[in-house]
Amino acid sequence: MIDGLKNNAGLKWQNEIYPYLGQKISKYIEKLPTSTLCNISEIRLRANGAISVTVGNKNTIVYDENNAPLSLTLSESSEIFTRLCNGTVYQFENQIKNGYITIQGGHRVGFCGTAIYEGDKLVTLKDITSITFRISRQIKNAAREIIGNIINDDKIYSALIVSEPCGGKTTILSDLARLVSNLGKRCAVVDERGEICSVYEGVPQKDIGCLTDVLNGYSKGDGMMTALRCLSPQLIICDEIGSRSDADAMLEAMNAGVPVIATAHASNEDDLLGRPQIERLVDYGAIDKIFFLQGNSNPGVVRKVITVNRYDEDSWNSDDCG
DSSP label at residue 89: G
Q: What is the per-residue pLDDT across 198-212, written as a single tens digit (0 to 9) for each?
A: 888 888 889 999 999
What domains can you pick out in the chain, each with its CATH number? Answer: 9-134 (3.30.450.90), 144-320 (3.40.50.300)
Average pLDDT value over all residues in the chain:
87
Closest C-alpha to 237, from 166, 161, 153: 161
pLDDT of residue 138: 84
pLDDT band at 313; cut points 50, 70, 90: very low
pLDDT of residue 20: 95
pLDDT of residue 131: 96
pLDDT band at 69; cut points 50, 70, 90: very high
Q: Is the pLDDT of residue 57 over 50?
A: yes
284, amino acid identity: Y
This prediction has a pTM of 0.80
The SS3 call for residue 303 is strand
CA pair distance 198, 151, nearest whole angstrom = 25
CA pair distance 58, 131, nearest whole angstrom = 18
Q: Is the pLDDT of residue 179 over 80?
A: yes
How many Cβ atoms are within 10 Å of 71's Cβ, its own excluded?
Answer: 18
% of residues, the chain, pLDDT over 70: 92
pLDDT band at 226; cut points 50, 70, 90: very high
Q: Is the pLDDT of residue 114 over 60?
A: yes
Average pLDDT over residues 146-172: 91
CA pair distance 187, 315, nearest whole angstrom = 30
Q: What is the per-residue pLDDT across 256-311, written as a single tens digit (0 to 9) for each?
A: 999 999 999 998 889 998 999 999 999 999 999 999 999 877 888 999 999 986 54
